[in-house]
Amino acid sequence: MAWIVISGRADRECSVVDLAATTAKVVVQDGTGIPDRFELAFFQAVDKRRKCEVIWRRGRMLGIRFLA
């Protein structure tokens, strides 16, 4: 379980189904309104987030790349 964090909006829960050092696949309930760049939080209560960029979209699944 993880959370998509978009500035100024409520966090969106998602599932990480494939995690690598520089990329991941995440599944969301609703992919509408998710921008091309956002932050991914693996722990909602802790302020440790990874900046991400969407590299592909297929329905409810997103392929993301972690940014430096």
- What does pTM read for this prediction? 0.87
Number of structural domains found in the chain? 1
Per-residue pLDDT at 45 = 65
Structural domain boundaries, residue 7: 1-18+32-56
Is residue 26 in some structural domain? no
Comparing 10 with 14, the larger pLDDT belongs to: 14
Interval 37-54: pLDDT, tens? 999 998 876 678 999 999
Structure tokens at 37: 């760049």
Domain membership flag for residue 52: yes
Residue 67 CB coordination number (10 Å): 11
Q: Note whether residue 51 is domain-resident.
A: yes
Residue 8 resides in a domain: yes
